[in-house]
Amino acid sequence: MGNLKEIRLRIGAIKNTRKITQAMGRIASARLFKAQQAVTAARPYAERLAEVVQALTAATDDAAVDPLMAPRAEVRGVGIILVSADRGLCGGFNANVTKAALQRIAREKEAGREVTVIAVGKKGAGALKYNGIDVDYRHEVPGNDNVLDTVKAVATEATGLFLPMDGATPTVDVVYIIYNFFRNALVQEVTETQLLPFKPAEIDPDAPPVEPVFEPDRAALLAHLLPVALESQIQTALLNSISSELASRRTAMNSATDNATELIDDLTLQFNRERQAAITTELMEIIGGSEALKG
């Protein structure tokens, strides 16, 4: 009977765990719908802004039309913006993006470059610290309602490292952002994008040429639009990462729920077999005792 009690307790514990994973999966599904809407809503603005910046920069042969676009002759410092999650239980979401960041940091250090890290998400910052890498700036993952505050803070930090306001020597000569791109609810891809020096979007070779007219002049427009475009890229990365985290968590929790159900079924079958065996043993003992009394 002791074995039966142990199995019954295990079944109860797994059922409680299944309730938790089911609830977490449902919450992730509900939040994912809103997150997908945010990504979809932000996409047209980001694409149109990229087209405007591209048109401005394509109007001249001079690549360094703005300090934020000017490439450095030598790269001595590299900035890494790592976007992860604040919590776990989301499959390989955090591990995959952190692995990509560690590989990039290792390559830069092998080349003799200093690395400055901006981490959005506690899990990524913790993983880097565990691997002996200093995190210079930390941010928690924002919600859809306050994502712009984090975007502006990260953009200010990245711009300050690349182009100090006081004219001091820049800390970094190039800035990358590493995050999970939300392809769909089942596919999330680790993506690495160069933010600074700012690189305009590629021109569609099949698109008809357009001769833009600028008012005011092109330099003034770029000085205003490039910081906005930089924030737009960071916002896109954060929104994609938030959606990817929720999709990964939903998949992981649904898988955990299915595994728990399967384990409960196996334990229930084992419990029934053990109970049947115990009942059969008791009946045999009763019959054996009755026969002994008759004899």
Residues marked active site are found at 90
Residue written as tokens 């059969």? 280
